[in-house]
Amino acid sequence: MNLKEYRVVFAATALVLILLGASPLLNAFLSFPNKATPFSELYVLGQNRIMSEYPVEVTNDTDYRVILGIGNHMHESSYYSVDVKFRNQTQSSPDSSNSTPSSLPPLYEYRAFVGDEQSWETTLVFKLQNITYEGNSTLVGNLSINGQTFTVNTPAAWSSQAGDSYYQLFFELWLYNATSNRFEYNDRAVWIWLNFVP
């Protein structure tokens, strides 16, 4: 190697050492944002955390338990609200193609603050009460959720094909938007079908 080539080696080594020396400062100012798409999860499980243990066949005035959970992958702490609603086969349901929630009013509500990459879970206990039959239809008078009783008076037609009357207990996820200062529907809904056999 001649002197010119040695100079290049010296300069390159010095440059690397300068970058190493400046690394504490670079570390303080450089940040690499998480490029993964932020999203939230909403899930419902049977009481032993098994999907096959969903209450499906339900009877009058009996307690049923499900586990409701939220997972936060929004890259920051988030404030969630979960609306619990009850409908029959014909009433409004959440529409994932239009990202709209059901137009039914919530019966019950959960609020949760969840840290990034954390989850939140709760056990929901519900029972259907004051169920009456009239002709080919069933009428659920009350729905009790976690010990609070709500009047629903929801009829359901008896399905001749299935031989049952179907209802749906469903959950909608709403996410607080800190910019607009309001909850916005997060296009996440989960449900369990409740089959009432007379």
Partner 1 sequence: MLLGVLLIIAFGTSFFTMHFADAQTYPTKSKFGYANDVVEQAFNAVLDAEKAGANVTDLLAQLNDAAGILAQAENIYRTGDYNTAVAQADSVLNASNSIGNQAQALQLATQAQKDETVNLSIIISAASVIVVIIASFLAWRFFKRSYYKRALQMKPEVVSDES
The DSSP bridge partners found for residue 80 are 112, 175
- 34 CA to centre of own chain: 22
Q: Give CA–CA dist 93/185, Å, rounded.
A: 13
By CB under 8 A, residue 185 contacts partner 1: no
Applying the rule CB under 8 A, the residues between 140 and 159 that interact with partner 1 are 145, 148-150
Is the Cβ of residue 27 or residue 90 nearer to partner 1 in the bound state? Answer: 27
Q: Is residue 6 at the binding interface for partner 1, with CB under 8 A as the rule?
A: yes
How far apart are CB 28 and partner 1 at their closest, in Å?
A: 5
| Interface with partner 1, residue 180, by CB under 8 A | no
Q: Answer yes or no whether residue 18 interacts with partner 1 by CB under 8 A.
A: yes
Site string for partner 1, 78-117 (x = CB under 8 A): -x-x-------------------------xxxxxxxxx--
| Residue 23 binds partner 1, judged by CB under 8 A | yes
Measuring CA to CA, which residue among 54, 56, 148, 163 is closest to residue 107? Answer: 148
Of 64 and 108, CB closest to partner 1: 108
HSE of 18, CA atoms in CB hemisphere, 13 A = 6
Give the interface segment with partner 1, choosing from 7-15, 50-58, 152-160, 187-195 (CB under 8 A). 7-15
Q: What distance in Å separates the CA atoms of residue 169 and residue 11, rounded to the nearest whole number?
A: 71
45, 58, 69, 191: which is closest to 127 by C-alpha? 58
The string over 18-38, giving b where at least 16 C-beta atoms fall within 10 Å of a residue's C-beta and e elsewhere, is eeeeeeeeeeeeeeeeeeeee
Host H or E run for residue 19:
helix 3-29
Residues of this chain that interact with partner 1 (CB under 8 A) are 3, 6-7, 10, 13-14, 17-18, 20-29, 76-77, 79, 81, 107-115, 120, 145, 148-150, 176, 178, 181
